Amino acid sequence: MSELLRIPADRFEVNLPRLAAMLLLTATCGVHAAEAPGRAVAHDQERGNCLACHRIPADPAAETLATMGPPLENIRQRFPDRTQLRQRIWDARAFNPETIMPPYGRHRILTEQEIDQVVDYLHGL
């Protein structure tokens, strides 16, 4: 999936005011990003690459137009139980055998620690 981030933001698909706002916020959120290693894991195309499929509306630094998966929002309400959320990421097939979401834990796409970090990040949004 590594090429997907290298695709240049395109003049016909990117909303410029939104992009400008994102960049501004990215700059001001720098401190938080450093505090939340899970964000780096989730955004990094070589690791979680969650943005290939999910928008994360509560995180202005999450630059994507993805519609392959549902937007990740209200995560704490939807998954009050963190282990449920963790299981989803570890192997989403437990919930939907036909899912296209990669089995991050079972296929060792992420380490156990990285998965915990992603859970922290999503729960902290």
Partner 1 sequence: MIVSSALRRILPTLVTVAAMLVAAPTNAAPEDDRGAMVRMFQSRFPGVPLDDYVYGGLMFNAAARRHYEDIMAFPPFEPDLDRGKALWETPFRNGRTYADCLPDGGRMIAGRYPTYDAQAKRLVTFEMLLNDCRSNNGEAAYRFDDRDTMGVLTAYARSLSDGMRMDIRVDSPEALARYESGKALFHRRIGQMNFSCANCHVTNAGKIMRMETVSPALGQATHFPVFRGGDSLYTLHARYTRCMQQVRAQPFAMGSDAFNDLEYFHSYLSNGLPLKASVYRR
Q: Which residues, in sequence order, are CB contacts of 53 under 8 Å at separation 6+?
A: 66, 68, 69, 100, 101
Round to the nearest angstrom and report the end-to-end CA distance of the chain. Answer: 25
Listed residue (53, 22, 60) closest to 39, CA to CA: 60
99 part of the interface to ligand HEC, by CB under 6 A? yes
- Of the residues 7, 16, 27, 31, which one makes contact with partner 1 according to CB under 8 A: 7
Distance (Å, whole) CA 55 – CA 49: 11
CB of 75 to partner 1, least distance (A): 20
CB of 103 to partner 1, least distance (A): 6
Binding site for partner 1 (CB under 8 A): 1-5, 7, 9-14, 51-53, 64-68, 100, 102-103, 107-109
Judged by the rule CB under 6 A, the positions of this chain that interact with ligand HEC are 42, 48-50, 52-54, 68-70, 72, 78, 85, 88-89, 92, 95-96, 99-102, 104, 118
